[in-house]
Amino acid sequence: MNYIQEFKKIPISNILNRLNIESVEKKKEEFWFKAPWRNEQTASVKCQNNLFYDFGEGLGGNTIDFVMKLFNINFKEALHWIKNDRNYFSFHQPKQGLINREINKGTTYQINKEQVLQNHILIEYLKVRSLDIAVCKKYLVEVYYQVNDKKYFGVGFKNDVGGIEIRNKYAKLCLGKKWYTSIKNKCNQLIVLESWSDFISLLIVYPKTEKQFDFVILNSLSMLNKLDAVFDEYEKVFLALDNDEAGTKATEKHLEILGVKCTDIRYLYKNGSKDLNDYLLGNY
């Protein structure tokens, strides 16, 4: 693809300027700056034209590699970021590291504030995933919270028992009890998805589905086993789980249990995509 080669040639100094990352020009077209992905006192990253090298980690590459490293995103997401010409997105590496767990009763946490999505860092996190912000604002909130007295913020998605799934580039956790989320439109057909990003991706790719179906977003594949009573309420159940081993096993199991009332609709994104959000990233 020609545009990939074009993206690779973009001067990295342009990216630095767009993101307001301070740099020092030591020689013509040679800039040094502090690595945004770690805390450091002295600039240890050099960029010249479309190439960079991180002396702290001993790695480097072209402009696309730099965007991947800067935002901790994959190749496809980096292409979308550059293509959409983001002008003010800047993630700073948080001190908590990646969190991937349910916050349980043994952990002290506190939700300080919930509000409509407006934080530009969270909005750009959603845009990197090609999620329409107007749709996101209908189903997601902006949450400011504390875990063991440390303050964080993230995108929040509420489940049916009061827990909140929290996501940003560095955190994946649940505040409160892990459970699924129901979205009801008084329909007799149900679509089951694994994550809120898949749900929102479905609404973007197939907008008419929003009012034509009820939905359950599992928030964890393990929640699928808790839906027996829910399935009894519907004439048809459509499973839109991940295209991986776990998603396939769960789909096959429930196709057998539910029989003709259940349909696997992963054909909608079986083009090598892992899930609906991955499909959205690759095709829109």
Q: How far apart are CA 248 and CA 277, in angstroms?
A: 17
In this structure, are strands 189-193 and 164-168 parallel, antiparallel, or unpaired? unpaired
Give pLDDT tens digits for 172-187.
Answer: 889 999 999 999 999 9
Could you tell me where the beta strands, DSSP code E, fall in 222-275? Answer: 236-240, 262-264
Q: Is the pLDDT of residue 144 over 60?
A: yes
Q: Looking at residue 52, what is its pLDDT?
A: 94
C-alpha closest to that of 197 among 239, 160, 165, 238: 165
Q: What is the mean pLDDT of residues 54-58?
A: 92
Q: Which residue has the tokens 């991986």?
A: 244
40 C-beta neighbours (distance < 10 Å), count: 12
What would the two tokens of residue 186 be?
Answer: 């008084």
Domains of the chain (ranges, CATH numbers) = 2-83 (3.90.580.10), 99-175 (no CATH), 182-283 (3.40.1360.10)
Q: With 60 as the cut, is the pLDDT of residue 271 above it?
A: yes
Q: What is the mean pLDDT of residues 4-29?
A: 80
Burial 216-244 (b: 16+ CB within 10 A, else e): bbbbebebbeebeeebeebeebbbbbbbe
With a cut of 60, say whether residue 151 has pLDDT above it. Answer: yes
> CA nearest 246: which of 212, 222, 268?
222
